């Protein structure tokens, strides 16, 4: 995803660098006769966890586009005047996740382009695997790019197709060109649309409001607007909201043999109160916790979550343990300072370690003199677990066992999640025993890949498990394809 903010196919600008993959949140709203800006703003608030680097809203009032795009959190980015300036009953919005390295206003979205047959705005969550190829081809045809992000590639390709075709055909043509993961909200003049890649890697859903419709990355955004979740946008489907908020039209533009839903959305990214592809994330996490007990339960005095990421896992784990006759206590053993941002955005290892200490503090009565199981969703670099084990020991725990509700993350994400490079991943080249030693735990267990597929209720070939298997459902240069899939692979072009 990502792209320069204001682009123009005919205008030249210096290329800008940008991180390769990001997870983001996207929104689109079309209403009967109410301004769209405020509902978009609330939806972005609901999706803030999907991106904290920058945010933006673009609306259309029937005559022209209005936009406000800014760095930072949704709550800081807009003042009442900004919202009042965003006129129109239709609009789209975006929150963007910080990437390692560059923090660049030019990469903030929605990305806008104006061209002969109107104006376009795009919000993108995901990552294309063939953006470079298309960029070079379009550049050779005279398109000038203002960023090196792939959202701009989609925008230019679509703008070009729109000069020759109607809207739906133009989008179909662009979909045939672009490969990779994308959940997009698109606004062409005042028509708002949602588009999900043929394998449905990133989430996108449709919600009904009293006076219109909303498209959003997660259903929690629909709830925030007191709307009703209609359904997910289907993989390969284009949903066009009718002007005036009167329903929507669906076009199944591309069909793939398999889906590639990202399992990590369920494990970590999505809000627990969201329903993704029919499954309530909280319940999936609890089920993963239950399976973790079944596969790797250990008797201790107390089970405690890493707040907040491990909470649902730990409650499922403890519940399954108690059902099995264990008299383990389920308690909070760590307090989180909610004013500290995510440790991930700290640029150096030293700062990341300090941030964990700032963020979490043990509750002595839970851990002192006791054997403890700490449950979290995942280990990426190992910073959090290493620090926590040390903290909990210092607070007097006799034994510290670590249980993780996902398999080892051993390969990078190429599909839109800012994870870490292979070199940084603690599990990339270490055995579980070596990782246990490195984090300093008395025991360490991860969950199996099969348990993930079971808990989500989706067959393994229909999930993207690239980061835990090193085998990807998309053709990524230098990486293995997923051999569990049968039938024709998505066109290589």
Whichever of 112 and 408 has its CB closer to ligand AMP, that residue is 408
Smaller CB distance to ligand AMP: residue 53 or 377? 377
Quote the CA–CA distance of 383 and 395 in Å, as a whole number. 18
CB of 265 to ligand AMP, least distance (A): 11
Q: 194, 206 in Cβ contact below 8 A?
A: yes
> Which tokens belong to 379?
């280990």
How far apart CA 294 and CA 160 sit, in angstroms, is 54
**Strand partners for 182:** 126
- b/e 138-162 (16+ beta carbons within 10 angstroms → b): beeeebebbbbbbbbbbbbbbbbbb
- Contacts of residue 21, defined as CB under 8 A and 6 or more positions apart, other chains included, come to 1, 99, 127, 413, 414, 415, 416, 417, 418, 419
Going 326 to 329 to 333 to 337, the CA torsion angle's sign is positive
Nearer to ligand AMP, 85 or 382 (CB): 382
Residues that bind ligand AMP (CB under 6 A): 268, 306, 309, 342, 344, 376-385, 417-419
Least gap, CB of 404 to ligand AMP (angstroms): 9
User: From the CB of 264, what's the least distance to ligand AMP, in Å?
Assistant: 7
24 carries an active-site annotation: yes
62 or 101: whose CB is closer to ligand AMP?
101
C-beta atoms surrounding 268 within 10 Å: 20
Contact at 8 Å (CB) between 416 and 458? Answer: no
Output 35 or 287, the one with its CB closest to ligand AMP.
Answer: 287
We find the least distance from the C-beta atom of residue 363 to ligand AMP, in angstroms, to be 18
Smallest distance from ligand AMP to CB 43, Å: 21
Give catalytic residues, as residue numbers: 24
């Amino acid at each position: 995803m990502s792209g320069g903010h204001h682009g123009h196919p005919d205008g030249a600008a210096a290329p800008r660098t940008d991180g390769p993959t990001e997870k983001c949140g996207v929104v689109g709203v079309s209403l009967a006769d109410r301004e769209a800006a405020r509902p978009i703003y609330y939806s972005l608030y609901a999706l803030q966890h999907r991106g904290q680097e920058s945010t933006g809203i673009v609306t259309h009032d029937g005559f022209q586009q209005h936009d406000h795009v800014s760095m930072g959190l949704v709550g800081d980015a807009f003042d009442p005047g900004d919202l009042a300036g965003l006129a129109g009953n239709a609009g789209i919005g975006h929150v963007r996740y910080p990437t390692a390295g560059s923090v660049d206003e030019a990469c903030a979205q929605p990305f806008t382009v104006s061209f002969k047959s109107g104006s376009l705005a795009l919000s993108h969550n995901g990552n294309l695997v063939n953006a470079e190829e298309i960029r070079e081809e379009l550049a050779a045809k005279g398109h000038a790019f203002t960023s090196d992000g792939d959202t701009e590639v989609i925008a230019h390709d679509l703008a070009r197709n729109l000069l020759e075709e109607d809207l739906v055909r133009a989008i179909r043509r662009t979909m045939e060109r672009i490969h990779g993961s994308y959940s997009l909200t698109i606004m062409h003049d005042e028509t708002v649309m949602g588009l999900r890649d043929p394998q449905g890697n990133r989430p996108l859903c449709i919600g009904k409001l009293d006076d219109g419709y909303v498209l959003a990355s997660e259903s929690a955004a629909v709830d925030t607007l007191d709307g009703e979740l209609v359904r997910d946008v289907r993989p390969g489907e284009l949903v066009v909201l009718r002007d005036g908020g009167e329903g929507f039209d669906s076009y199944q533009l591309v069909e793939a043999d398999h889906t590639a839903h990202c399992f990590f959305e369920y494990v970590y990214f999505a809000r627990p109160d969201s329903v993704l592809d029919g499954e309530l994330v909280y319940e999936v996490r609890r089920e993963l916790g239950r399976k973790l007990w079944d596969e790797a339960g250990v008797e201790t005095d107390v089970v405690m979550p890493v707040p907040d990421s491990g909470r649902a896992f730990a409650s499922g784990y403890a519940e399954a343990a108690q059902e099995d006759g264990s008299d383990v206590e389920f308690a909070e053993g760590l307090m989180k300072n909610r004013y500290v941002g995510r440790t991930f955005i700290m640029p150096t290892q030293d700062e990341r370690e300090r941030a964990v200490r700032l963020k979490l503090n043990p509750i002595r009565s839970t851990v002192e003199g006791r054997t403890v199981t700490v449950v979290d969703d995942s280990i990426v670099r190992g910073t959090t677990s290493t620090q926590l084990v040390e903290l909990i020991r210092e607070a007097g725990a006799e034994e510290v066992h670590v249980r993780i509700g996902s398999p080892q993350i051993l390969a990078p994400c190429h599909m839109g999640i800012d994870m870490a490079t292979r070199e940084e991943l603690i599990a990339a080249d270490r055995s579980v025993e070596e990782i246990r030693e490195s984090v300093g735990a008395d025991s360490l267990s991860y969950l199996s890949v099969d348990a993930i597929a079971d808990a989500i209720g989706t067959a393994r070939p229909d999930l993207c498990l690239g980061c835990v298997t090193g085998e990807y459902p998309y053709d990524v240069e230098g990486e293995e394809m997923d051999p569990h899939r049968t039938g024709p692979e998505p066109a290589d072009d």
